[in-house]
Structure 1
Amino acid sequence: MKLFKARVQNYRSVRDTGEFAVEDVKTILIGPNEAGKTAVLQALQRLKPPSDLKPLNALRDYPRALYNDIATGKVKPSNVVVATGWFSLDADDLKELPPSHNPAGTEFVVSRHLDNSLRYHCTSAPEYPWFRIFRSDLLRLVAHMDRNDAAKSASASLSAIIGDWNDSTAVTGKFATGLTSWLDANIALVDEDNEKEMSRYDELLAKVKLWGVYDAACGRLYQRVPKFILFSNIFRVRPNIHLEHLAIRLENNALDDDHYDYGNSCLLKLLGFTARQLSDLGKVTAPDAGDQAAMERFRDQLDNRNYQLNAASVRLSREIKEIWNPDEGKGEASKLRLVADGQYLKVVVEDSVGVEVELDQRSEGFQWLVSFFVVFFSEAEGEHANSILLLDEPGVSLHAIKQRDFRNTISKLAAKNPTIYTTHSPFLVGPDELDIVRVVEMTDREVGTKVHTSITSNDPAALLPLQEALGYDLAQSLFATQRNLICEGLTDYWYVDATSQMFISGGLTGLNDKIAIVPSSTASKVVYFATILTAHNLKVAALLDSDNAGDQAAKQELLVHRLGAKRIIRTADFTDPAVPKAEIEDLLKDTLIPLAASEFGIDVSTEAAASPTTPITDLLLAKGGSSFSKYKLAKAYIRWTRDHKAVDLSPAERAGWTKLLAAINSALK
């Protein structure tokens, strides 16, 4: 079972994010301060939270500007949806459902309401059992029974059950049980030779029972829903915990700060002790040496504490070693140890030299990781293999370069547990990860927080991390590769890279792995990039569309002088049939036309057949209007390539791309 779509409503700064896609492995939320990113994560956690998470509170969690509706009773918390998640079901999940209602593609939908109630259903659910769907058949059946029973006992007993029902009565729970019992008790009154009435009886009994079977199956499915574990930078494990002080605060419910003690509480939960138990063990004095039984109990108590501390230390050390990847020769962290010393529980780190120091003397990034694993293992409660991680600003304390390394750490975590994380940092967004980015913005308090699946925003600040990520990556790689292909924009980059990778994985010749693809943002800027790169004696080729902008760029004297005609590659040269004004999308016309129809509901197959020389983006724009986006189409194609191979392209597409990739390789050999 995998979360593939979500929506947050009526939670703090969020009125309605709208539905947004969630990736299988890693989803990144970016946006400026106060956009509502943290609120989105907090609301999503409610879909299946850890057992000790505080319940929703309308006063604290409902949008404050709308709270008067709750206070006056105009809006009932039970009717207010806070978070909704859509989950895809695998073959094992579908087995839980009744065979009549478990087709492939069934989705499981879970929603949490402001009154903390939980609701879930499947998209293949049977018709809800309102009494109106049973009424006519039930009345006909009881009339048949009465003809076989002079006392008309069936009518009398049925009236006692359904006497106060109306068409909107839900035949579930005790109502369904009562009706089922009535049917079972009166089967003898149905003429077994009357096939029509026997069939009516069987269908009624099956319909009455079906909802109960389905409802129980949905309950079992919810048990399979991943647990959502939220980790914030403020949830820190402290290196020295005074057990007696913590025990008193917990017992008196007088925590100085829930966040301050949260990490420490999780650590104790992971160890299997309460603060009071560990504190009392630290106070115990050795019994008289002559009392052998007391000595045995004393030793067992201390050994039990030490063994549990050791087991937790080993577990944490193993997980951290797998993820952290310390710098060569620096001995960032070799072993983590939890030590009980009287009234203090200490977290110490032993490096590769054997030196022990307290946790707070190690890097902020390492402290974050230790705290994360403590909270993760504690809150997952043995279910961390089936958990979704929600990380709020991970690695914010790391140096920029280390953040780029830490991006790989998050990817390793996400390989086992799907991860959704927020960030402001361009170094936590890879240039190849733009398709998994969701933009969070709040340009108007009256509208609230919005989450965009496509990389669009009304607030330029929301896109800043992406712009900086692309700029930094480009600056780093611009002069690092001897061979460079300049293309007009990001979508061109995606088409070339994704198709090349698909060719290579299918055993065909793709782009030479020594060639770097450099997007220039517009055709007019290709000449600038070409000038800069050729000035450094690098090999450069340009891939230009054959539209008007591409024609103008290709005719620039400076570009021709810098590259030569052979290294200016035009898309129209590789289309079949020929499209004089071809853009790169026209090299994938047979694939993109049905893809646009299925993904966006824009079907231009008839128009393309009638006008084969018109670029497909022109046809899609003419029919789809503002609902069509070249970016969205390119992103949909990238997703398509993940599940398809080069052989799934049409023969004309394979032929065109084979020639195009060969031309690029030849120009930059």
Structure 2
Amino acid sequence: MKLDSFRVTNFRSVEDSGEITLKDLVCLVGKNEAGKTALLNALGGLNPHPATPLAYDKERDYPRRHLNDYAARHPESQGEAVVVTSSWTLSPAEVRLFTDELGPGCLNSNSVVIWRRYGDEACQFKVNLDYGAIIEHLMEAHGLDEAERAPLADATTTDEVRKALDALPERSAAQQALLDRIKAMPGKNAIGFAGGLLRSLMPQFMYFSYYDRMAGQIRVDDIVRNGDAPYHQPGHPHSNTKLDVGERVFLDFLEFAGTSVEEIKASTTYESLNAKCEAASNAITDQLQEYWTQNAFLELEVRVTKAEAGDPAPFNTGVIARARVRNTLHRVSVPFSERSAGFIWFFSFLVKFAQVSKRGGNLILLLDEPGLTLHGKAQADLLRYFDDRLVPKHQVIFSTHSPFMVPPDDLTLSRVVEDQVEMRRPGVWTTKGTKVRDDVLATDPDTLFPLQAALGYDVTQTLFIGKHTLLVEGPGDILFLKALSAQLKRRRRTELDRRWTICPAGGLDKIQSFVSLFKGANLHLAVMSDRAQGDKRKLEQLRAAAAIPESRIMNYPDVLGLPEGDVEDIFDPETYLGIVNGAFELKGRSSLTLAKLDKEAPGPGRLVKRMETLFRILPPSTPEFDHFSPADWLIRNPGFLDGDGPGVAATLDNAEKVIKAINAALSP
């Protein structure tokens, strides 16, 4: 079953979140106190994993400002307040489990709705069954003839079939077999069977928070289990109490090592116990070195030794399991608890989910503010871990307010979380509660900040990580080159090599600064710039700096054989006029023509300068000419270049000359 969407209502700050659509990975973005944790807790309570037993408590969780009005808002006739409503899709294999029992066509849809209220012992569901098809299948499977079917003619559900068969004074063997089969179903009906099957198929929700950090050491002697609930036995300072989160994570690590506190207690040889601890240490260290790029010289060591009398209680007696971190560069090890908060959290996270993967199970992972104490680069490593290790096996929903935890390559994975407030009248504010939206158009700029920062960071990083970077003057150059390359590709002509990352430098005079910024980054740089009559000195300075080979410092007029020029001079003048008319919505008498251009701004000369002159004689209501708008219009209207007229042909010939020159700069 795959979770498609969910909606939270009547839970803490969330009166009605609105529908929250999901993918394999979804990021809930919002500032502190927006309600992100409430959303995850509510969802986690739908079908919680035993390790994270989230539950709904009306007095604690129902929106406090409405608690006294609960009975009026949710009368007994309507039942308790709903906390979560969710929509799921059954996989083809899961659909077959239904059809194997209830017959082909038993489901009108492979979509299922599951919800849970306050006080519910288990989640409730709605599945769209086709009772007609089910009844027909069951009668056919048991070989009922026409006479045996007659008493069931008016039955529209399996309940009615069962009651009709029970009411018969005598039943044939086929009728009795059908009755027995229906009675053997959970609830003695098809919907009961469907519910039991759904509950067995439904994933459990495992919740993991920022606070779940592994303890650095535990005293194994006093840890006992009651089923899956370990606790401290009498004699420990915290006797008869459950283990805290950090101790439970340490037990997860021991289990990942293939051992347990019980095995440690029973162990009679040091070597066998040490071998298992070393094996687990090596496995976690391998993951640590792959995903913790902050320091490549760290190794984890786990030791199980007798306590020393001088250590603080309770670690001064018995058998102690300790975790230490060794720095192979400095050749020193320190207790696990003395590492940075970020490292402790990251390692604890690896342990927890290495063990989750080892145990398997049908899980959806809810991660509350993961990586909060990590450096921005380490947070990017954590996102990579999500993609590599978690998403292939589990749906992952996590919350954050860090721009480095927002997936930058796909902002559609983000959902904006806001605690919306409104001023009903001057000085009187009220809240609408936590709302979630997926159009990333939050009303609060503070909420949007992580998304804006993530996008800006990704754009900035692109400048550094593009192995082959082409510096151009502005964003208009990028759009024009992309649009022209796409048109050439459609015609099976030379397109811009996809290895290029195009970066707008902001003008020829700023390219030198960008080159200095790139220096030492081991990138393959090239320049395609405009050139006016006064730019000769700037180009000479750029070449003299020798940061980029001279063969890779190009400009449009040199490639096109012009005395000066910009990216716009790739275009045939009449073709460019058509683009400008479209971009500025110039129609009728205001429409620009080649005759007007030749009259008011005769050539030769740079096309954009001639266009600026032409715009000065247009009516005052005409928008001011700018370089970007025509490029933006063309990228949104690529069909403009589909024709075969002489203007388009000349334009594409020029574009191919420029693109071939750029691609040639890929050579060493």
Partner Cα separation in structure 1 for residue 72 and residue 220 of structure 2: 45
Partner Cα separation in structure 2 for residue 344 and residue 78 of structure 1: 52
Q: What are the superposed Cα offsets for residues 581-623 of structure 1, whole Å, 9 maximum, x if unpaired?
A: 389xxxxxxxxxxxxxxxxxxxxxxxxxxxxxxxxxxxxxxxx
The alignment covers a number of residue pairs equal to 504
Match of 1:467 among 452, 469, 475: 452
Shift of residue 95 of structure 1?
0.4
Match of 1:114 among 111, 115, 118: 118
Shift of residue 73 of structure 1?
8.9
Cα 1:355–1:37 change in 2 (3 A) is same
1:512 aligns with 2:507: no
Structure having the higher strand fraction is 2
1:15 aligns with 2:15: yes
CA contact (8 A) 1:567 1:667 kept: no
Residue of structure 1 in register with 2:359 after alignment:
382
Partner Cα separation in structure 1 for residue 121 and residue 246 of structure 2: 28
Shift of residue 458 of structure 1?
0.7
Q: What are the superposed Cα offsets for residues 281-327 of structure 1, whole Å, 9 maximum, x if unpaired?
A: 86xxxxxxxxxxxxxxxxxx224999678647635742552365267
Shift of residue 448 of structure 1?
1.0
Q: TM-score if structure 2 supplies the norm length? A: 0.60
Partner Cα separation in structure 2 for residue 71 and residue 309 of structure 1: 60
1:456 aligns with 2:441: yes
Secondary structure, counterpart of 1:325 in structure 2: helix
Cα 1:188–1:102 change in 2 (3 A) is closer
Shift of residue 239 of structure 1?
0.2
Partner Cα separation in structure 2 for residue 126 and residue 254 of structure 1: 60
| RMSD (Å), alpha carbons | 5.7
CA contact (8 A) 2:278 2:301 kept: yes
CA contact (8 A) 1:227 1:380 kept: no
Partner Cα separation in structure 2 for residue 251 and residue 508 of structure 1: 77
Secondary structure, counterpart of 1:357 in structure 2: strand
Q: TM-score if structure 1 supplies the norm length? A: 0.59
Q: What are the superposed Cα offsets for residues 550-602 of structure 1, whole Å, 9 maximum, x if unpaired?
A: xxxxxxxxxx97733245799x98x9xx997389xxxxxxxxxxxxxxxxxxx
Q: What are the superposed Cα offsets for residues 384-433 of structure 1, whole Å, 9 maximum, x if unpaired?
A: 5x322222222222222332333322222323333222122222224312
Equivalent position amino acid for 2:90 in 1: L
Shift of residue 366 of structure 1?
3.2
Residue of structure 2 in register with 1:405 after alignment:
381
Cα 1:517–1:280 change in 2 (3 A) is closer
Structure having the higher helix fraction is 1
CA contact (8 A) 2:363 2:395 kept: yes
CA contact (8 A) 2:403 2:454 kept: yes
Sequence identity (%): 25
Partner Cα separation in structure 2 for residue 105 and residue 508 of structure 1: 47
Matched ranges for 1:463-502 at <5 A: 463-478=448-463, 482-484=469-471, 487=475
Residue of structure 2 in register with 1:80 after alignment:
81
Shift of residue 365 of structure 1?
3.4
Specify the structure having the higher radius of gyration (Cα).
2
Cα 1:62–1:535 change in 2 (3 A) is same
Cα 1:451–1:532 change in 2 (3 A) is farther
1:90 aligns with 2:66: no
Residue of structure 2 in register with 1:47 after alignment:
46
Gaps of 5+ in 1: 130-143, 149-153, 156-166, 191-201, 283-300, 519-525, 543-559, 584-636, 638-648
1:564 aligns with 2:547: no
Matched ranges for 1:478-627 at <5 A: 478=463, 482-484=469-471, 487=475, 511-517=496-502, 532-533=510-511, 539=527, 563-566=566-569, 581=582
Cα 1:482–1:330 change in 2 (3 A) is closer
Cα 1:378–1:109 change in 2 (3 A) is farther
Equivalent position amino acid for 1:45 in 2: G
CA contact (8 A) 2:112 2:125 kept: yes
Shift of residue 351 of structure 1?
5.2
Residue of structure 2 in register with 1:366 after alignment:
343
Secondary structure, counterpart of 2:443 in structure 1: coil
Gaps of 5+ in 2: 134-146, 225-229, 307-317, 422-429, 516-525, 531-562, 585-635, 664-668
Residue of structure 1 in register with 2:425 after alignment:
none
Q: What are the superposed Cα offsets for residues 128-177 of structure 1, whole Å, 9 maximum, x if unpaired?
A: 99xxxxxxxxxxxxxx99xx9xxxxx99xxxxxxxxxxx9xx9777x875
CA contact (8 A) 1:180 1:208 kept: no
Q: Which moved more, 1:206-215 or 1:102-111?
A: 206-215
CA contact (8 A) 1:107 1:123 kept: yes
Partner Cα separation in structure 2 for residue 107 and residue 397 of structure 1: 39
Partner Cα separation in structure 1 for residue 451 and residue 305 of structure 2: 46
Residue of structure 2 in register with 1:334 after alignment:
299
CA contact (8 A) 1:438 1:452 kept: yes
Cα 1:328–1:34 change in 2 (3 A) is closer
